[in-house]
Amino acid sequence: MVDRKPDATGADGKREAPLDVLIAGAGYVGLTAAVSLKQARPGLAVAVVDAAPAGVWRRDGRASAIAAAASRMLEQLGVWEEIAPEAQAITEMIITDSRAADPVRPVFLTFDGEVAPGEPFAHMVANRDLNGALRRRAEKLGIDLIEGMAVSAFDVNGAGITVHLADGATLKARLLIAADGVNSKLRDMAGIKTVKWEYGQSGIVCTVAHERPHNGRAEEHFLPAGPFATLPLKPDKDGTNRSSIVWVERTEDAKALVAGDEFVFEHDLEQRFGLKLGEISVADKPRAWPLGLTLARAFVAPRFALAGDAAHGIHPIAGQGLNLGFKDVAALAEVVVEADRLGQDIGALDVLERYQQWRRFDTLQMGVTTDVLNRLFSNDIGPLRAARDLGLGLVERMPRLKDFFIRQASGLSGDTPRLLKGEAI
């Protein structure tokens, strides 16, 4: 995608032809929103503005779990075919509950990795592969991207919204979508309050190389300080076996681990990872970020909507943050497209409230669920450990309940938007 401003601006710095939709944020949520709207309604003028410098997304070494519903959506949007060769299917998921020093980690719960024959419930995808495919699709659809430019303010004025950029330029649109992350500046500008607290934990992310293949198995170990997840990746170009690690520790310990000696880091990592896949080594620089719960009190305002982490930031214990964002996009796109087909004002509050009603309860429910799970499992209280292990064992013996959890994890439960079913809007 080229780095350019949408169309020409007049002498006063204002875009001469107003946009229909302007999206702030060129991560997976913002780009997917742009592609969803433009593909369904080619006549809509859609643009994306992003504060990050051009090309910074290429340096993102992280990977994300893409649920089955999200991969159906990406296939419908014409990008999954490009991503699929580099995506690693998760064929099995196992859950243990132990201490890091325990010599044996009994498996309490296992999940087969399919929601339908031949369809894994999730894939692991490198963030830069996902972002790059979405950018190329957006460019093909004629969506403009303004990179390295923050939104400094916006004003709602009747039938439109005027967005002021950091360089003094202004853009006019009928709808502004904020997809600028959990610390959303646009959310603050809109005066939307949040419910927020910190967990005193940080998530360490890195890639680990190992001798033996993982065979598509993902593992989540519940440890006293927080969950330790091992997620399978495609081998690199040299054939090296790799996995992505999401390692939750108390914040002060996480900071010390990431900033400290590499040998100490690998020693502590090996204690948690084990040697079941042979010798291991850290393949990239570990990074840590603080974890908390952030829920917006409202998802919409006149001519303004939140999506993705700007609307909700949750604990990674269930691996659903990214997929909640995709569900936001699918619901918002469906609401906006249907309103446009009916000749309604796509930025009107009564239209946007349909999106809020659709997504708010589901988001609250997931936020509460991950909060309870984290508090339940991130401790070393004996009676609580016994109770939760009993619960995991009971689920293991109840196939229908396991199927329910697989449907939840795949994003195919509840009132699912059409895009997440793989259907056009």
User: Which pLDDT tens digits describe the chain residue by residue (425 residues)?
Assistant: 434 444 434 434 444 579 999 999 999 999 999 999 999 999 999 999 999 999 999 999 899 999 999 999 999 999 999 999 999 999 999 998 877 666 556 677 888 878 888 899 999 999 999 999 999 999 999 999 999 999 999 999 988 999 999 999 999 999 999 999 999 999 999 999 999 999 999 999 999 999 999 999 999 999 999 999 999 999 999 999 999 999 999 999 999 999 999 999 999 999 999 889 999 999 999 999 999 999 999 999 999 999 999 999 999 988 888 999 999 999 999 999 999 999 999 999 999 999 999 999 999 999 999 999 899 888 888 788 788 877 877 777 888 777 877 778 888 888 899 999 999 99
What pLDDT shows up at residue 16? 53
Name the DSSP letter for residue 414: S
3-class SS of residue 330: helix
What span, in angstroms and rounded, lies between the C-alpha atoms of 155 and 186?
Answer: 12
Contact (CB, 8 A) for 39 and 78: yes
Which parts of 51-173 are beta strand (E)?
Answer: 63-67, 88-89, 92-97, 107-112, 114-116, 119-120, 122-126, 144-147, 151-157, 160-165, 170-173
Q: Would you call 386 exposed, middle or buried from its count of C-beta atoms within 10 A (0-12, 13-18, 19+)? A: exposed
What pLDDT shows up at residue 294? 97
| Other Cβ atoms closer than 10 A to 169 | 18
Which parts of 179-273 are beta strand (E)?
Answer: 194-210, 217-223, 226-233, 241-250
What pLDDT shows up at residue 386? 80
Contact (CB, 8 A) for 413 and 405: no
What pLDDT shows up at residue 277? 96
Task: Return the closest-CA partner of residue 128 out of 209, 218, 203, 28.
Answer: 28
Task: Return the closest-CA partner of residue 49 out of 31, 25, 30.
Answer: 25
pTM: 0.92
Amino acid at 358: W
Torsion angle of the four alpha carbons 253, 105, 102, 219, in this order, in degrees rounded to the nearest 10: -20
Name residue 21's beta-bridge partners: 46, 175
What pLDDT shows up at residue 88? 98
What span, in angstroms and rounded, lies between the C-alpha atoms of 111 and 406?
Answer: 7
What pLDDT shows up at residue 105? 63
What pLDDT shows up at residue 264? 94
Q: Which residues, including other chains, have CB under 8 Å from residue 31's CB and lie 6 or more apart? A: 48, 131, 134, 135, 138
What pLDDT shows up at residue 11? 39
What span, in angstroms and rounded, lies between the C-alpha atoms of 103 and 39?
Answer: 53
Helix intervals (H) in 122-276? 127-141, 185-189, 251-259, 262-273
3-class SS of residue 139: helix
Q: Which residues, including other chains, have CB under 8 Å from residue 87's CB and lie 6 or more apart? A: 66, 71, 123, 124, 125, 129, 234
Q: In what order do the strands lie in the sheet with 170-173?
A: 151-157, 160-165, 170-173
Task: Return the closest-CA partner of residue 218 out of 246, 260, 240.
Answer: 246
How do 92-97 and 151-157 pair as beta strands? unpaired
What pLDDT shows up at residue 1? 41
